[in-house]
Amino acid sequence: MKPYEIKNKVVAITGATSGIGLACAEGFAAAGAKIALIGRDKAKLLKCAAQVKSMPGASAEGFVLDLANISDIQNVVSQIEKKFGGIDVLINNAGYAVAGLIEDCPVDQYKKNFEVNFFAPLALIQAVIPGMKKKFSGQIINVSSGVGKRALPGFSSYCATKFALNGLTESLRLELAPWNIDVISISPGRVSSEFHKNVEFYGRWKREIPEMNMRTPEKIAKFILSASKKRKREAAVFGPGLVGYHLNYWAPRLVDRLLAKKYPVA
């Protein structure tokens, strides 16, 4: 399989105004890609787009989109395609976490979490597929998580959205293989970004997430760029999540006990 050539490709990135998204915008731009930054905050979006465009030879444009408004997605994708002539790579990066014990967390919050973390990526994927099929080429990169394979107590909503995204990714990969379209799942591990500060807690259970053993967004962006170039099926950063996933395969009851001790809910 030949490496994927990033230069001159159009890369659309959600959650592009901070963290992994912004780092990917800069990393892919440095590799010669044309960048479509997608975010809901217009002021931040314009600032970040200007930041990327200030890089030597970079081409970038910002597109305002609140992923909770799924009906707006097709229109924004059409804007990007009109501006750049298509979309070659879609990076579904945006997402947030709802946390709390299952008995305390409102069902409506589960629904909102799924709208942003699952249904919005799904709608974006559906919107870009026709253009990629016409070119007989493309990549869809879904930023998932290790908790999409081994869930944690207190984070059932977020875990469920990532389990769903992983299932979608598996099916999508098989469906798009005949059109030479890569579908890549990324598990970035713990990242030093605003994500952890923006967790929405409900009910009695709240857990501080220690800022240790976290990788920078820039390192994760390089990891994603490498996975893109190598056309990997799946790429997971080595860490506790990856170790736990493999251990869970062989000794699930042991992992249950370890997690119950680490994340006490009583």
Q: Annotated catalytic sites, by residue?
A: 158
Give the list of residues 6+ apart from residue 20 with CB closer than 8 angstroms, or none.
Answer: 93, 143, 188, 191, 193, 217, 220, 221, 224
Say how far apart CA 142 and CA 156 lie, in whole Å. Answer: 20
Name residue 119's amino acid. Answer: F
Burial (CB count <10 Å: 0-12, 13-18, 19+), residue 173: middle
Backbone angles phi, psi at 42, to 5 degrees: -60, -45
User: Parallel, antiparallel, or unpaired for β 138-143 and 181-187?
Assistant: parallel
